[in-house]
Amino acid sequence: MRKSTFRVAARSVRLDLSTEQRINLMNISESVEQLPTNGSRGRVYGDPYRTADGGMVIPVAKVRGGAATPFGVFVVHGGEARWVPAMDSNRIALIGVTTGLLSAVIASVALLRRPPWPDLSATSAAWSHR
């Protein structure tokens, strides 16, 4: 079974919340229960986890063809919500290697079809350019 390494890059979003909205943010567990968790198609939100410092982490997965892959997490802490996407480093490396290989093949084909140096031929005692 192949294991993938996932790294996260944080993107922060500042929320300007009123007092009423902050009170509602405290009841976020109830709101999270309303998110779709079925295994249909699209995004699936997991159970929220409380952190030791009072924050909350909500995992998100993308479902395609019956298989779920990590998509990222929502981190809610102190009135601020951040989206932290999960990046598959193996996929990024594969795209880089494939791009380099494709570039090398295209350059090789171009050089084999027409060499970059001029054609020279010998006529009598002098060299002439065709």
Give the tens place of pLDDT for each residue, 28-67: 656 666 555 554 556 788 888 888 988 899 998 888 777 7
Q: Is 78 contained in some domain?
A: yes
What region does 43 belong to: left with phi over 0, alpha with psi -120 to 50, or beta? beta
Total structural domains within the chain: 1
> Domain span at residue 80?
8-87
Helix (H), strand (E) at residue 8: strand 6-8
- Kindly indicate the confidence band of residue 98, based on its pLDDT and cuts at 50, 70 and 90: very high
The DSSP result for 75-107, as a single string, is EEETTEEEEEEEEEHHHHHHHHHHHHHHHHHHH
Terminal C-alpha separation, the chain: 60
pTM metric for this prediction: 0.46
- Kindly indicate the confidence band of residue 102, based on its pLDDT and cuts at 50, 70 and 90: very high
Q: Is 115 contained in some domain?
A: no
Are 4 and 90 in contact, with CB atoms under 8 Å apart?
yes
Q: Is 94 contained in some domain?
A: no
